[in-house]
């Protein structure tokens, strides 16, 4: 078994460069004749970003969680503007190996901000809704202060009377209305969104139900919540963006089926699909088997990696499509508290990240030229012996 895996890894290392999976965009349709979508000017997504001067430039670290979400959304938008209903991938991990919370739980706040930024960037009418809501929210807060002051004055005036006056009843009703508007982030309680939808598919119905309860005030009204499994009863005819949030290997088949079904049914309006923190292959069960390999070839390897951010013990690893991967180290003397120690055209493995840190800090020497293949094979052997 180990010999077979070693032989396979050697063929991979000698074959197609790993950078292709991260730099070359592949827009895949449900049909078998998949090819990169070409715009009217004859440019593919790759050539258009070359014109913008983004290729082979290092990726900067985001300033905050909001900044990371906005950058990820903008990368997806740029990919989608090339057409072809692309399948994007976003990976966000700030756990630094801490498994106290599930991936879904630890990335919920980022997801809320990312979804909001993506809606503002791609869904018609959301920016106008946001501005109108902000204005109504400010007006509601100002009026609420006045109403509450009037209620206090009326209560102090009628201390000896248990029965509320008609004015107090009217003020109390208005207070409830204003508080409802504020809790809805400026949207009226009876507001109904009639435009395009962004649908998020959660791993299970329990997670989707919690999102319906807790996310409503955090994301635009165009966002709808569903689960990968179970009977699909929701009207998806207006879904122009579909997102799969932390799908696991157990949901891979259902998620893939939903993807193909939506791509076929909503071909005229579908802008993109986005996979956030997907873990579709269980290496302990199907990872090395035929099913795992076919899933990787059929779906996973076709996802365009739009954004990647992972915190490390000493810093962070990040990448924004179509720029370079960059490794950052904490440094109090550097601007922003971090300094870049390496830029690469592919995603480094975990052993490579450690080597990059050791070399940058004088703990280890640069590897000798010409030994890259042997070093990579050695890393694979060491990893397999630890299984």
User: Is the domain of 118 the same as that of 141?
Assistant: no
User: Is the domain of 141 the same as that of 47?
Assistant: no
User: Is the domain of 229 the same as that of 80?
Assistant: yes
Domain stop point among 140, 156, 183: 183
pLDDT at 48: 54
**Cα torsion angle, 233, 191, 126, 196, sign:** positive
pLDDT at 165: 76
User: Is the domain of 176 the same as that of 54?
Assistant: no
- Domain contains 168: yes
Range of the domain at 107: 25-122+196-306
- Domain contains 342: no
User: Is the domain of 156 the same as that of 103?
Assistant: no
Q: Provide the pairing of β-strand 87-93 with 272-276.
A: parallel
- Domain contains 339: no
Structure pTM?
0.76
Domain stop point among 183, 209, 226: 183
User: Is the domain of 118 the same as that of 229?
Assistant: yes
- Domain contains 19: no
User: Is the domain of 98 the same as that of 134?
Assistant: no
Q: How far apart are CA 297 and CA 312, in angstroms?
A: 29
User: Is the domain of 206 the same as that of 246?
Assistant: yes
Q: How far apart are CA 369 and CA 371, in angstroms?
A: 6
pLDDT at 65: 94
Distance spanning both ends of the chain, measured CA to CA: 12
For the stretch 334-379, pLDDT in tens is: 888 999 999 999 999 999 999 999 988 888 777 665 555 556 566 5
Domain stop point among 306, 339, 354: 306
Task: Report how many domains make up the chain.
Answer: 2
* Nearest alpha-carbon partner for 226 in 247, 202, 249, 256: 202
User: Is the domain of 168 the same as that of 211?
Assistant: no
User: Is the domain of 209 the same as that of 277?
Assistant: yes
Residues of the chain with pLDDT under 70: 1-52, 156-163, 189, 282-289, 291-292, 367-387
- Domain contains 376: no
- Domain contains 239: yes
Other beta carbons within 10 Å of 32: 5
Q: How far apart are CA 9 and CA 57, in angstroms?
A: 29
Other beta carbons within 10 Å of 114: 28
User: Is the domain of 117 the same as that of 133?
Assistant: no
- Domain contains 322: no
The CATH number covering residue 101 comes to: 3.40.50
pLDDT at 38: 33
- Domain contains 267: yes
Other beta carbons within 10 Å of 237: 9
User: Is the domain of 178 the same as that of 35?
Assistant: no
């Amino acid at each position: 078994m180990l010999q077979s895996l070693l032989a396979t890894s050697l063929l991979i290392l000698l074959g197609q460069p790993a950078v292709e999976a991260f730099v070359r965009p592949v827009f895949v349709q449900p049909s078998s004749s998949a090819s990169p979508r070409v715009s009217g000017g004859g440019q593919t997504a790759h050539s258009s970003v070359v014109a913008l001067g983004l290729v082979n430039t290092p990726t900067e670290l985001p300033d905050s969680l909001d900044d990371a979400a906005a950058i990820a959304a903008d990368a997806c938008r740029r990919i989608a503007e090339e057409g072809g209903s692309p399948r994007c991938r976003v990976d966000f991990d700030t756990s630094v190996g801490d498994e106290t919370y599930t991936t879904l739980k630890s990335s919920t706040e980022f997801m809320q901000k990312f979804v909001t930024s993506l809606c503002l960037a791609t869904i018609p009418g959301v920016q106008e809704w946001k501005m109108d809501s902000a204005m109504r929210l400010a007006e509601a807060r100002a009026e609420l202060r006045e109403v509450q002051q009037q209620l206090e004055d009326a209560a102090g005036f009628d201390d000896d009377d248990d029965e509320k006056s008609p004015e107090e009843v009217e003020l109390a009703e208005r207070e409830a209305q204003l508080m409802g508007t504020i809790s809805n982030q400026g949207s009226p309680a009876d507001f109904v969104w009639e435009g395009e939808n962004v649908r998020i598919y959660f791993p299970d119905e329990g997670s989707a139900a919690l999102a319906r309860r807790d996310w409503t005030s955090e994301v635009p009204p165009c966002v709808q919540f569903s689960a990968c499994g179970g009977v699909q009863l929701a009207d998806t005819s207006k879904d122009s963006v579909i997102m799969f949030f932390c799908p696991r290997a157990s949901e891979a088949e259902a998620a893939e089926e939903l993807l193909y079904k939506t791509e076929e049914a909503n071909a005229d309006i579908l802008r993109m699909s986005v996979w956030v923190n997907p873990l579709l292959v269980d290496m302990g069960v199907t990872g090395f088997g035929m099913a795992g390999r076919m899933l990787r070839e059929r779906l996973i390897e076709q996802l365009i990696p739009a954004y990647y951010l992972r915190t490390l013990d000493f810093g962070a690893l990040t990448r924004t499509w179509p720029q370079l991967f960059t490794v950052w180290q904490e440094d109090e003397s550097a601007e922003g508290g971090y300094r870049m120690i390496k830029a690469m055209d592919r995603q480094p493995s975990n052993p490579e990240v450690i080597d990059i840190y050791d070399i940058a800090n004088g703990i280890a020497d640069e590897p000798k030229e010409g030994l890259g293949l042997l070093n990579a094979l050695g890393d694979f052997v060491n990893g397999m012996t630890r299984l």
